[in-house]
Each structure stands twice: as structure tokens, then as C-alpha cells.
Structure 1
Amino acid sequence: MRKIKANYFVWIFTLFTAFAYSQGKINGVILDTDSGMGLPGVNVTVKGTNEGTTTDSEGKFSITTKTQTGQLVFTYIGFQTKTVNFSVEKTGTIDLGKINMASESNQLEEIVIKSSVIDIAKDRKTPIAVSTIKSAEIVEKLGSQEFPEILNNTPSVYATKSGGGFGDSRVNIRGFSQENIAVMINGVPVNDMENSRVFWSNWAGLSDVTSAMQVQRGLGSSKLAISSVGGTINVITKSSDLKKGGTLSSTIGNDDYLKTLMSYSSGKLENGFSTSVLLSQTFGDGYVDGTKFAGANYFVALGYELNKNHDFQITFTGAPQWHNQRSAAPTIADYIKYGDGVGEPNIRYNSDWGYLNGREYSFRTNYYHKPVASLNWDWKINETTKLSTVIYGSWGRGGGSNGAGAIRGNRFFSNSLRTANGLINVDLINAYNSGQQVTIGTTNFTRSQINGDFQNSASTGNNATNGISKISSINSHNWYGGIVNLNKKINDKFTLDFGLDARTYRGIHFQNLNDLLGADNYADNFDVNNPNRVLSFEYSTKPHFNPFFNSDYQQKINYNNDGLVRWYGAFTQLEYATEKLTAFVQAAISQQGFRRDDYFKYLTTDPLYSTDYENILGGNIKGGLNYNINKNHNVFINSGYYSKQPFFNAVYPNNASVVNENLTNEKVFGVEAGYGYRSSKFNANLNVYRTSWKDRFIRLTANIDNDLNPATPTILGNAFLQGVEQIHVGAELDFTYKPIRKLAINGMASIGNWKYGSNVTANYQDDNNLVITNPSGEVFTETLYLDGLKVGDAAQTTASIGASYEIIERVKIDGNYRFVDELYASIDPVNFRTQAANDKGSLLLPSYGLLDAGFSYKMLVGKDRADAINFRLNINNVLDEIYIAESRTNIHTKTQADFTNTDGSPNTTAYNTYVTTQIYDGLDKSNQVFFGFGRTWNFAISYSF
């Protein structure tokens, strides 16, 4: 009996052993069709099973399977999906050899993007203008540049470093500022819910964790009712189920730039779990004087695939940072004044800093920590139905500093308080604040005390008691939301999506004290519930690393209010798809509620202390179709209409809790058409578009004497102009050309005509929303002369041409030249209150061109040469071009007619003096501008295993 049992177990063991070893083995190597090089990290799966692997650094793979006859599916971000049939005997091995995968520059395969919450456009399917930037290009070419700058070779995109501080960059698409561009991270909108702004310093580490970034110009393919007037930037971050391996890297650059990074991914384990972790840290002095910075980045992703129907992903990421800024744009005259003395501007000059006791001291420091957590659940209900859900939260903590108060009427930025080299004389401020005698100009001053103390405040008057402090404006928030999307494939042609979008937001706004600069305390009388406070506690201008840090305990000065926003939305999309024709129609509706709590301006018994929610409906409808004429040619068209809720400051203007009775939604109508050409060597896209943006909210203020009696005080009047319209039309071209395997050429060109519509007129009202009239009953009005005025702050004509060439295997050089023209100064429509102002129009800035270059080398190391050491050198603005990237003023050069003698005759001498001394590169030197950076460099070395 025992012998029978023993034999039985031996038989069972043998059976299981045979079963375990009755798997076939498939080998091969995946190559990029264009370059002929191996593709690392390609996903390899046996269709219809959970069996899978990824390729190594040379593109090689080996996979075991229980399936004897089937198909292997190869997927890789930015490449067309490849399917290969196989047949392998049990315990046998086959070699599929070289398998080529073709690049799709505008495509992210659906199998890579599991969640239907993420709206990714597909090449020759989604009928919109789109550009995709792969992670490899971001890692390779971004270097020490700002994250949005990687988009500068995309048609109709203009990104600048703005003041030049770490993370202070900005981006425009088709002439619309980033407040009107939807920024999405893994399908979640991240634009501020009060004002739709995006501060890239809050996302300083985003480039480290980006798998791909897609720019959808125009209304885009997002199903949400978001503010995508100019376009949508979709960022897809790394997931937990990356292939097993990691990276160690270090980057150095000009001005003591240093960045270190490490990452590791476990790969998908047999139990279904996976994890990815990334940590990085960045330091530097900054290219612009007085802009030191330090930032960190952390990213943790945990995944669990319960079975083939349920996939869970948890991500938590943040980038605490601080950086000194150049917030004030100096005049061209000041750049030259503090330059080399021979008329060349010092483009690094910064007027916002100085030295205190021999150490760098900035009045403008930005510090923030904005961690974001999300939980994604993708549920494959059946073969035709999928439910994707994301729940997320964000906890922003931090703000930006400034100077408060004055010394004898001189603010901290006054020329009277500067050293000979144009820096703020912080030592002088500190000495005066502490009661020492100082010399301002040619006069000696000593401050007076209040109740025995040297007391600062926010007063800027010319008095003997006040001093200057450094204070911060805190803009923290708590943000929670969720998106649910049900994707139903009705049949082989129709797919229906339906979803819900809910968000709640509390913005926390106040000021606190950072540095008394030698004074004893700070007096604040802005809190009506606690008047006449005297404070002395100083708070740091460094980010708090606790993501749930509660700042309510802090002593608040000058103002203290919360902005609350609630959002409820529903959306749907019906898509029709065949091999040749793809069409869709989308619709979304949302209710946005705004509430304001003001703890300083109103007594606790005042109903305005905490308002009710002001609810406003909005929504959109859009549709489009793409037709593939043949394998080479396709055409598309799309159109859409948005009814967009106004921003928070339009609902509650004048920093008060009184609702604007003239509220109206902004209206956006866009239409776009495009043509695409695809071949084995040449790809091209041509798009034309027209976008109308109506009923922008603009508030004018003026002191109005409504009884026409100069002896009586004036009242403050407000005019709310709601008929302002911008019309943006243009054409875009981009292409790639690979005449031979080792050479790739890419280029783009875009031409826009972005301008304002007709003039607009509005009545003036007082703070109680009552129309202001004179004794005769005449209503005071204001007209803005905007008809035909060019929209500023972005280049309306751009072009670039670039190439990369593989000299020898894994050694590559590349270069790119970008040309910028029709760049107009930033204009404020409120400055065009006369026809004469419109006659001169928007100030045209000089055109410029920039050359960038790079060198890459990849060295294979380790066992079977499966690991790699990568070297990358970037040189930006190789020719050290001096150029003006933006102007904050619109001051035109004077003409001979502006210089006359007392008898009215031309004063030629005065005019010639003006021309020779007050004009730089065709611009009046009194314009406040930001120059772009000169030549910069960065060098990176990384080890991937």
C-alpha cells in the first residue's frame, strides 16, 4: 500500500514537472525601422494570455509560453503596434530574428494607455492637430532647460523662461496664454481652479517622470469641459509596471547647475504587484544674477493587477522647491547701464536682490510643495465594456515673497536704495530699520520709534517711523477630485463613452512676515475683527516637506481670505471608426460654484464674512472626422463651441465678497482642418484653424467725480467690459524626413494672425453695482479701442529646422535652428482707452534665431552588454545670440513730430539725440523687457540597468 502511494506521488510529481517544462521559448530582437537600432523596453506579450516580457537595452527578448501556436504583440510608446505569428513545440525554442517596428511620431498606442480617462490622440484617427514628444527626447534634449521649453519646436508654441528663475517659465499655444491651455497629468486637470494658472516650479520634477507628452492644439480631444481654448498639454507619467531595472544619473551645467537622480522599477511580479520609485535633487546659482535655487522630486508608483480584468495603480509625487526670482522686468536702459559700459546690455541683470552682511539676499523668493496622490482603477467588465476611475488629491503649501513698507517714501526697489552696480542696498535698509543713521541721496536720515520700538508696516508713505520688511503672499490649497469613465464598444464601428467629473477646492490666501530686517516688530491694522495688532514672528521662505502641513496657526497680515470652488460635470462621446473613416461627437456640461470667505475685511457678524456659492453652468460640444484616403494621405476637420465659466476674480472683483452682477460666460468657437502625409521616409502635417474667444472679462477702474465739483472727493468706479473678443487664425506645418537610416531631418513652420475684435464700451458702476451718472443724468462710460489690435506676448510666426546624424554606431550629433518673428509686446487692453493708443498698436519686438546642438554616446556594458552608460552634451544658443524674449510694456519709439521748438518748428537736434541715446535695436530703452539666456550648456551621464 505504501509502495502504491509512493509511486502515486512520484507520478504526480513527474506530471507537474513535465507540465512545468512543457513550455516553448521564443527569442528575437526588436529594431527601430528608421534607425536600425535595438529598441529597449518594448512590451512583448502573448496575445490572449498574461505571459509577457520586455526587451533589453539592445532590443533583445526571450519569452517562454505554454501556447504552441499564437501571436506575439509588441507595443512601445510612439511606435505602431506590431503583431507576429509564431508556432513553437513544447520544450522547443524558435528564433524570430529581427523584427522592425515603425515609428508613429504622433501616436501613443491604446494598449500602453490602459485608462480611458486619459484622452490621447491617435495618428490618422483622432481628427485634431497634435504633436507627441517621447520620453527619450525629453531626457536627451531638455537637460537643464525648463520643462515647457521642450515644446518650442512645435508649431504655434512659444515658451520662454520669463524672468529666468527656476520653474518660472511660461508657454503660449496659438497665441493663448497658459491660463487658457488645459494641462493634464494622466487625464487629471491641474490648472488652478480659481484662475487656471499653472506654475511650472510646482512641477519642477515632472520631466523626470514623464513617459510621453502630447500637445493637442486647438480644442483637443479631452472629453472634460476644460479651458482648452488654445490647446491641451497631456503629460503621461511613468507607471509602476515598467520593465525591471533602474537608472542612476547626474547632470552638470553652467552656473553650478547640479542634478542627481536615481530610479528603480521592480517590473510586474508573479503575484501581480509592481512598483516604481524615483528620487532626484537639483541645485544651482541660476543664469540670471541672484536666482539661486534648490529643488527635489519624489515619485512612488504602486501597481496591482488582480487579474486580467482589474488593474490598480497608486501614484504619489511631489517637488518641493525654493528659488529666488527676477520678477520685475528691468528697462533696457538699466540692462545697458549695468552692463559692460560700451552699450551692450547685461542680460543677467536682476533688480530684485542685493547683499546683506556679504550674503546674497533676494526680496523675491518663491517656495512651494504641491504633492499629488492618485488612485486609478481600470476594470474590464467584459470584452466590450471598460470602467476607468481615478480619485486624486493635491495639497499645495507655499507662496512668494516681496518687500513691504517704505523708507521715507522709497520702496525696496527704489533707485534711491540701490548700490552703484544696481543692486538693492539691503545693508542700508537693515541699518535704517534698526535705528542707525543712513544717507539716502545726499540727506542723512534716522528713523523714529513708536512706543519705544522700531516698527514696520505696509505703509508706503513718506514718514519718519516706517521701515521695509520682507513678507510672503501665501497661496496654499486643498484639492480633491474624481473622474469616472465608462467605455462601451457597441459594435465593431461604434464606441460610446460616458463619465462624471467632480472636484472641490479651497484656496488659502494670506500674507505673513519673513524678515523684519533689523526692526523690532510689524504693525497690522487690516483685520477688522482684531485691530491694531503688533507682530514679530518671522516665517521661513523654504518649502515645508510635510505635505499635509497646516498653516492656519500662522500669524497673518494685510489680508486673509479663502476662495472655494466646487465643480460637477458630466460628459459623453460617441465615436465611429472604420479603416478609412473615424468620426466623433462630444458633449460636456459642468456647474462651477464659487464662494469667498474673508476673515479680515468683514466682521464675523457680516453676511459677507462667508458668502453662499455662486453657481454658474458651462459646457461644450465638439466633433470631427478623419478620412484616410489611402495609406499615404488623410484629411480631417473638427469644430467645437465652449461656454466657459469666468475666473474667480470676475465673480468677486475688487478683492471683495460682492458678486459681480454682470457675470457672463466666455464663448469660444473653433474650427480646424488638416491634411497628413505618411510614407516610409517622409511624414508631414498641414493644419489651418480659426478660434474666436468672446466675452472676456476685463475690469477698468477710475476715480470719477460724479457731481463735477472738483472740491468734493472722487469715487472709485468700475467698468466691466464683456464684449471683448480675440480672433486667432493661422496655418501650421510640421514634417520629418529620413533619407537614409542614419540621418533624420525635422522641421516646422507656423504663421498666425492673432488680433482683437471690435471696440467695446461699458458703463461705470460704484462698489454697490450702481451706475454712476452726473447731475444731468449722463452715464459715465469707457471705451477700449481694440479693433484690429495685435495680440501680444507670443510669436505669431515661428519656424525651425533640425537634424540628427549617427556618426558611428550609438554615437550621434544633432542640431536645431529656430526662428521667431512677429513677436509683439505683452499688452493690457485697459491701456487702449483712446484711439491714438490704438493707432500705434502693439509694439513689434525684433525677430531672432537660435541654434542648439547636442552630442550623444551610448556605451553597452555589463553581462551580455545588457546595461548601458549614456553620455549627453547639450549646448543651447550656440551662437550666444542676444535677444528679447518678451516685453511687459508697449512704449513705441518717438518720431520727429514728437520733438518741436516753442514756435512749433521741428527740433532736429533733440530728435537726433533721442535716436542716438534712447533707442536699442529699434526699441525705446524705457521698455521693460526680459532678455533670453545667452549660451548655456549641460552634460549628463547616466547608467541604466
Structure 2
Amino acid sequence: MKKFFLGAKVLRYKGSKVKNLIGTKSIFFTLFSTLFTLFSFAQKQDSTKVNSLDEVLVSAVRVTSKTPVSFSNMDKKEIKYRNLGQDIPVLMNYLPSVVTTSDAGNGFGYTGIRVRGSDATRVNVTINGIPYNDAESQGTFWVNMPDFASSVESLQLQRGVGTSTNGAGAFGASLNMLTDSYANKATGEISSSAGSFNSLKNTVKFSTGLLNDHFEIAGRLSAMKSDGYVDRASSDLKSYFLQGTYVGKTTLIKALVFGGNQQTYQSWNGIDAVTLNENRRYNSAGKFTDENGNVRFYDNETDNYKQDHYQLHWSESLSDKWSTNFALHYTKGKGYYENYKEDADMAEYNLNAVGAITTTDLVRQKWLDNDFYGTTFSAKYKTEKLDVILGGGWNKYEGDHYGKVIWARYASQSELGDNYYDDFSTKTDGNIFAKANYQFTEKLSFYGDLQYRRVTYKANSADTGLVDDDFNFFNPKAGLNFEINQNNTLYFSYARANREPNRTDYEGGNVKPEKLNDFELGWRFNSENFQLNSNFYYMGYKDQLILTGTLDDVGNPIRSNTEKSYRLGFEFDATVALSEKFIFRPNFTLSSNKNVDLAVAGQNYGTTDIAYSPQVVAGNIFVYKPVQGLYLSLLQKYVGEQYMNNIELPSAKLADYFVNDFNASYEIKPNTIFKSITITALVNNIFDKKYVSNGAMWDIYPYYYPQAGTNFLIGLNLKF
């Protein structure tokens, strides 16, 4: 588990801990007790349902076409056609400026996403407005929420800095997800899919519908397994989602509990160029030589993690002009990764030498036990010309990092239950913001957004050293939106963003915060059969923490500050309805991503390409609907060549690739036992392209993460 590559050998910080105050069961009881109290209060109000009350949950972080921001939306209908078990980043693969990758090679297990060349640590992710990025690493671990796409009503990806939101600052994009809305009538749903590499997904969903026109309980259970394309890159994933909803005339109250439990065999080492040509599916994880000289692979070289989320939302429409949203949240995460270490230095694990013996084979576990909790809030005021949102949030993270040796050939003086390192870290993140959209004239509107964010981070480990840092960030944003006519709109915006280092940056000595000035200039065209979005952007950075392409000894990406850098690009996407049956949806991004006067180890390399930032990214979806209920689509993705380091080493160049997928879905509505029966098929990489979507550098030697050739998934969905 990459999130666990953060351990150190120090004594535990003796601070207060949320887990000593409230356990999982008490959190569950508290949320639903509170829901019952609010439900009792809200019953006294007029109960006439208001449309789209769910949108209030994300209104503070989402934008519309009147906002001068580059964005893309995906709704539940679009997601369902390809929702056969692959992670959310893979489902988003065909959005503009998006590049995705999979450690296992087939979209199960660990997956990653980059937007405009910025990696996942720089993509702010929220669920119903609640921060999801890991507070310390700043990454997003989708593997902890398997099949979450089955509980997503809609999502919005804002490219660039975007608008103010909760959690980590956005340096490449913001992704906000809205979970399932309530259903008016009782429903049930069973879906199963199976395919290549013994991939299997089973999902059960239900909703009681609105009981007494007010109250709904809905839920989901999912179980997924896959061997993965890469050898032994297996995953065993389980997840759940449960929500209770109260709907009144002016009130929406939601209590949600969701989470996942995952075990994945480690597959993040990559392979060298020789192995790529000889055995693309090879996985070195767990490899060791036993005492008889036989090469073996440890069968439990696994990543194990369980994460549970609790959210309580109360949205209120106070009048035609005022509405509010208040939320409480708590996330509990605990787990470890385990691996076999051959000839490990005994002193590194607090083991005394046994005579002349100073090394030993051993099996270790690195644990993370963390709590993340807080609140978010917003108030919205809207008139015919003015739309104002005031909001903010306060969140705290408490993380225990510790390591155990569970077996050693020479155990020395160790005792059962000993920790060979033990440290504690805390991070507090608070922000307030004010957003306003004012319609100056019928055609011209102004957008303003001011955010103040304060971050405090404390850690004390052998790797990070003593850390006690405070960051105060002021992030202004402003823009103009000009409607030329009913079809054409121009917009311009400026946004300032600041971002703190993550834990691995402290371990590497790169502790300067980053600064970004983002300029966006766009044109939108909208007609009945043709929609077009085009956008120029310039993102100028000070002390950007760029990926170096290298990994630390346990696979964590290493970043370093570069004094000056920029991303300059042009984005285009369109939807063209050639007829009622045929739709064409192309997009592409052309960009130049540069370090200016890059200095590495005292040597100046001048202006160079930023690592993992291809100059060309393009996607396309052809959709054909020959008859009612039948949906056929060809999905295409091109990613240009890119470097895996910043000094443009020839061996560090990752080749371009062009991949085609085919998706078919047929829905039958028998109107007997089932409301609908849907059969779905997805054939990935139909031309069996041998391609690599990601890689890393070990010194001057490239390592690659190959993706699967032609593979398929077939699904059956029953609704009743």
C-alpha cells in the first residue's frame, strides 16, 4: 500500500486520539441518532418535495456554464455503460486532458490519474463536498473504495485551479462527486460482470423509495476479484454503501456510511526494458532466494487496508434567496502492507546481532492507523443578478505509523508484538471562502472567489525529522463571462493557488510550498445538435514540486522543487449529433510543459520538459444507437510521448500510444418481473496494442508498467 511508505523509527507521539474517543459503532449510532432527531424536527415542516435537492450538497464546489472555468461533467447514465468493475479513473479516461494508468494493467486494484500532466496528489477530490485525498500523502487511493462508481449520481472534473473547495489545494484539477440521489419508488438492482484475468464483480443495490413521501433508506454491497494482467497482481475487493435520506419541502437530510476492504498483491515495481520485450507480465514483487538456492515468491506480498466513511448532511432552503448546507464527517482507516525482506540489516529492525550474524531474512508489516474528521458548511444567496456562496471547512488528520516484524530467521531478542518503528503525525486544515457571480448586464457577468486556508502539520520520525509547520495561504480568483448570443460565450479567468508539501517531500528535504498563477481563456458554443468547448490556459509555477521519475526504496514517488516552470496549452472538446442515432464526441489537448533553468545536483539543464507531461492527449467516442435500447460505442485514446524525468534523458522517454475500446449495451424492458434487463460488453484494446502507460527511473534505468492487450468484460444488470 503506497500510502504506508511513510514509517520511521521513533517513539509514538502521546497526543490525544480520536479512536480512543469514538469507535466505529459509536460513530454509526451517533450519525443515525442525529438523523432521527433531525427527521423528527423536519417532520413538522411542509413536506412537498423540491426537485434537485441533492445538488445543494455540491453547490458550493461545482460550477455551471456561467462560471469562467474549464470543466467536464459525467452523469450516472454515462457511467453505467462501462461500469463493469474498473476504477473511476479508468471510467474518466476519455475526458479532456486526462491520462490514466493501472498497476495491474487492467483497471482493477491500484489505478492512477493525471490531468494536464499533474498527478493524483494535485487533483483535489471531494465526495459530497467532503475531502477525500489522503491528508499526508495528498494522493487518492481509489482501491479503498471499490465499485464506488455504482453509487455515484454525477461527477464534475474542473481543470486547472478551478473554484475554491475543501481539502488539499488543486494544482491540476478538482474532481467532485455526488453520491446517489433518493428514489421516489422502491427499487432493487442486481448486477454481475465477468471477464479476462478471472475478473468478477457482483453488486446488489436497493432503495425503499420515499416512505410517507419523506424518508428513504438505500444501500449497496459489492464484491470484486481479479487476477490482474500482471503476474500475481491480484485483487480481492469488497465495499458497501448505506444512506438514509429525509426529504421535505425545504429540507434535505442525509446520513451516509460507506467504505471498502481491499487486499491486493503488490505490483508497483515495474519491469526493465529487457523484461518488457521478453515477459511483459513479469512481477518481481515478493521474490527471494531460499536457503537451498531456489528462487521463490512470497505468497503474501500484499497490501491490506480497510476504510470506513461517515457523513451527515443537512441542507435547508430558508427562502427563495437563501439556502444552507452543513456537514459532519469522519473517516477511519487502518491496514498494512506486508513483504519479504531478504538479508535485511538486523540493526534497521532493532534486532541485536546474533554472534557474527548481522543480517536476516524476515517478513515485515508497515501499518497505518488513522482518523480524519471535521466539518464543512456553506450558505448561498441568490437573486436574479447576484449569486453568492459563503463557506468553508475544518478538518483534522491523526495518523499512527508503525512497523512489525512478524517472522525472522534470526529473531534475536525480539518479542511478539514489538514495533521496530512507531511515530505519530497530525495535520489540521481549515479554510473559509466567499464566491460571487454578478450579472452586470444581460450578456456580461463577473465571477469572484476569495479563499483563506491555514494548514498545520506536525510529524516526528527518523525520515521526516521534527516537523512543526504552519502555512497560511490566500487564494484569490476572478473572471468574466460574456454571452455574445444565445449560442456563443467567451470567458476569461485568473486563479491563484498555494499548496503545502506532502510527507514524502519532507522525507526528501523538499519543504517549500508551491505557488501557481492560472490564466484561462475559453469559448463555448451550444446549439441543439452541436456543443463545443475550447480553452487556452497558462499555469505559471513558483517552486513547483515536480515528479522526478524516481521512487524511494519502497516505491513512493519522489518530488523536488523547481524554481520556475509553466504549463501552456489548448483544450478542445465537442459533442456532435450527426443524427438521432449517431453522436461524435472528440477532444484533444496540445500543451507545452516546461521547467525553466532547471538545476539538478548543481548542474543547470536549461529549459526542459516536465516529467509525465505529454504534449498531445486526445480522445474520441463514436456512439451509435441503431434501435431503441441498443448502444454501441467506439472509444479511442491517444497519449503522446513523454519523459519520465526532467533532464530529457533519452532512455527516460515513454513512447506514445493509441488504444481503441469497444462498448455495447442492450436494454430490454419486459415489464413483468423486471423493470429492465441490460446486457453490457466491453472489449478493451481491440487491436491488441502493446503499450506502456506509466514508468519510473531507477538511476538512469527505465522501468515500465505495461497494460493489458485485448481483454473483455461482460455484464448483466437486473432492475426490479
Displacement after TM superposition at 1:842 (Å) = 8.0
- Whether contact under 8 Å (1:617, 1:645) holds in the other structure is no
Distance (Å, rounded) in 2 between the aligned partners of 1:671 and 1:187: 25
Identify the residue that residue 566 of structure 1 maps to in structure 2. 428
Corresponding position: 1:130 with 2:71: yes
- Structure 1 residue aligned with 2:377: 484
Kept after mapping to 1: 8 A contact 2:60/2:378: no
Contact 1:818-1:849 within 8 A present in 2 as well: yes
Matched, 1:501 2:393: yes
Give the alignment of 1:669-684 within 5 angstroms: 669-684=517-532
Deviation for aligned residue 1:649? 4.9
Aligned to 1:845: 654
Greater RCO between the two (CA within 8 Å, min separation 6)?
Answer: 2
Q: In the alignment, which residue of structure 2 is the partner of 1:734?
A: 573
The reply to whether residue 262 of structure 1 matches residue 151 of structure 2 is no
Letter in 1 for 2:147: G
Partner Cα distance (2:91, 2:547) in 1: 35
Instruction: Note if 1:510 corresponds to 2:402.
Output: yes
Q: Is the 8 A contact 2:126 2:166 kept in 1?
A: no
Structure having the larger proportion of residues in strand: 2
What whole-Å deviation, never above 9, does each CA across 1:751-771 have from its counterpart, x for those lacking one?
A: 11111122348xxxxxxxxxx
CA distance change for structure 1 residues 154 and 693 in 2, over 3 Å: closer, same or farther? same
Letter in 1 for 2:71: V
Aligned residue for 1:230?
172
1:352 aligns with 2:200: no
For 1:730 and 1:458, locate their aligned partners in 2 and report how far apart those are by CA, in whole Å. 54
- 1:585 equivalent to 2:448? Answer yes
How big is each residue's C-alpha offset from its partner over 1:291-322, in whole Å with a ceiling of 9 and x where there is no partner? 222111100000123x4233210001001110
Where 2:245 maps in the other structure, the secondary structure is: strand
Per-residue CA distance 1:19-65 (angstroms, 9 max, x = gap): xxxxxxxxxxxxxxxxxxxxxxxxxxxxx99556xxxxxxxxxxxxx
Map of 1:882-897 to 2, 5 A cutoff?
Answer: 882-889=690-697
Q: In the alignment, is the contact (CA less than 8 A) between 1:117 and 1:389 conserved in 2? A: no
Give secondary structure in 1 for the equivalent of 2:608. coil
What is the rounded CA distance, in whole Å, between the counterparts of 2:240 and 2:359 in structure 1?
44
Residue 686 in 1 paired to residue 534 in 2? yes
Candidates 511, 519, 534, aligned match of 2:414: 534
Q: Is the 8 A contact 2:129 2:166 kept in 1?
A: no
1:130–1:842 Cα change, 3 Å: farther
2:514 pairs with 1:630: no
Separation in 1, partners of 2:470, 2:79: 41
> CA separation of 1:632/1:859 partners in 2, compared to 1, >3 Å: closer, same or farther?
same
Bigger CA drift: 572-581 or 676-685? Answer: 572-581
Task: Judge conservation of contact 1:224–1:588 (CA < 8 Å) in 2.
Answer: no
Distance of aligned partners of 1:787 and 1:500 in 2 relative to their CA distance in 1, 3 Å threshold: same
Cα distance in 2 for residues equivalent to 1:285 and 1:228: 34
Cα distance, 1:389 vs. partner?
0.5
Q: CA offsets per residue over residues 530-573 of structure 1, 9 Å max, x none?
A: xxx5134xxxxxxxxxxxxxxxxx5322x211111112221111
Query: Separation in 1 of the partners of 2:523 and 2:96?
Result: 15
Of residues 673, 680, 695, the one that matches 1:872 is 680
Residue 100 of structure 2 contacts residue 112 of structure 2 at CA under 8 Å; is this kept in 1? yes
1:174 aligns with 2:37: no
Other structure's SS at 1:807 match = coil
Q: What is the CA deviation profile of residues 494-533 of structure 1, one whole-angstrom value per residue up to 9, with x for unaligned ones?
A: 12222231111111111123444xx3x635xxxxxxxxx5
Distance across 1 between alignment mates of 2:516 and 2:354: 45
2:627 is aligned, of 795, 799, 808, to 808
> Which AA in structure 2 matches 1:618?
F
- Alpha-carbon contact 1:290-1:362 (below 8 Å) kept: no
**Counterpart position of 2:221:** 279
Distance in 1 between the 2:328 and 2:126 partners?
A: 14
Q: Which amino acid aligns with 1:478?
A: D
Deviations 1:420-444 (A, max 9, x none): xxxxxxxxxxxxxxxxxxxxxxxxx
Structure 1 residue 174: deviation in Å?
0.6
Label 1:328 to 1:612 Cα distance change in 2 as closer, same or farther (>3 A): closer
Amino acid at match of 1:583: F
- Deviation of residue 798 (structure 1)? 1.6
- Structure 2 CA distance for partners of 1:242 and 1:198, relative to 1, 3 Å: farther
- Post-superposition offset of 1:692: 1.5
2:606 is the alignment partner of 1:758: no
In the alignment, what sits opposite 1:940? 715
Q: Deviations along 1:397-423, whole A, 9 cap, x unmatched?
A: 11222333417x9x9xxxxxxxxxxxx
Aligned amino acid, residue 679 of structure 1? S
Q: Distance in 2 between matches of 1:144 and 1:731?
A: 32
Contact 1:791 1:842 in 2 (8 A): no
Letter in 2 for 1:384: K
1:94-143 residue CA offsets vs partner (Å, 9 max, x unmatched):
xxxxxxxxxxxxxxxx6550235542221x31211111112222221242
- What is the DSSP-based 3-state SS (H/G/I as helix, E as strand, rest coil) of the residue aligned with 2:191? strand
- Superposed, 1:609-758 pairs within 5 Å as 613-650=468-505, 653=507, 664-696=512-544, 724-758=563-597
Unaligned runs of 5+ in 1: 1-47, 53-72, 76-109, 337-344, 412-449, 524-532, 537-553, 603-607, 655-659, 701-719, 762-781, 830-837, 893-925
Q: Secondary structure at the match of 2:607?
A: coil
- Matched residue of 2:370: which SS? strand
Query: Of residues 81, 84, 88 in structure 2, which corresponds to 1:140?
Result: 81
Q: How much identity, in percent, do the aligned residues show?
A: 22
User: SS state of the match for residue 153, structure 1?
Assistant: coil
The answer to whether the 8 Å contact 1:353/1:362 transfers is yes
| 1-structure distance, mates of 2:660, 2:668 | 27
Q: Partners of 2:54 and 2:571 in 1: how far apart?
A: 29
Q: Which residue of 1 aligns with 2:364?
A: 471
SS in structure 1 of the partner of residue 578 of structure 2: strand
**CA distance in 2 between partners of 1:793 and 1:601 (Å):** 26
**Counterpart of 2:89 in 1: which secondary structure?**
helix
Give me the CA root mean square deviation. Answer: 3.3
Give the structure 2 partner of residue 898 of structure 1.
none
- Aligned to 1:382, what secondary structure does the other structure show? coil
Aligned length: 660
**Tell me, which stretches of 5 or more residues in structure 2 are unaligned?**
1-44, 549-558
One-letter amino acid of the counterpart of residue 631, structure 1: Q
Distance 1:385 1:850, change over 3 A: same
1:208, CA displacement in angstroms?
1.7
Residues in 1 aligned to 2:315 and 2:362: alpha-carbon distance in whole angstroms: 52
Preserved contact between residue 351 and residue 414 of structure 2 (Cα < 8 Å): no
Query: Once the 2 structures are TM-superposed, how far is the Cα of residue 785 of structure 1 from its aligned partner?
Result: 2.6
Partner Cα separation in structure 2 for residue 114 and residue 850 of structure 1: 38
| Mapped partners of 1:601, 1:358: distance in 2 | 32
Q: Which residue in the other structure is 2:22 paired with?
A: none
Secondary structure (helix, strand or coil) at the match of 1:582 reads strand
Q: Does residue 820 of structure 1 match 2:639?
A: yes
Answer whether contact 1:875 1:936 (CA < 8 A) is retained: yes
C-alpha distance in 1 between matches for 2:527 and 2:149: 31
Aligned partners of 1:243 and 1:112: how far apart in 2?
17
Displacement of 1:346: 2.2
1:390 to 327, 342, 345: 327
Secondary structure of the structure 1 residue equivalent to 2:209: coil
Secondary structure at 1:201's aligned position in 2?
helix
The alpha-carbon distance between structure 1 residues 243 and 634, as it changes in their structure 2 partners (threshold 3 A), is farther
Distance 1:648 1:601, change over 3 A: closer
Q: 1:456 to 1:378 in 2, by over 3 A?
A: closer
Amino acid at match of 1:396: G
Alignment partner, residue 80 of structure 1: none
Mapped to 2, the partners of 1:646 and 1:891 lie a distance apart of 24
Q: Is the 8 A contact 1:205 1:319 kept in 2?
A: no
Residues 54 and 252, structure 2, Cα contact 8 Å, conserved in 1: no
Query: In structure 2, what residue type is equivalent to 1:571?
Result: F
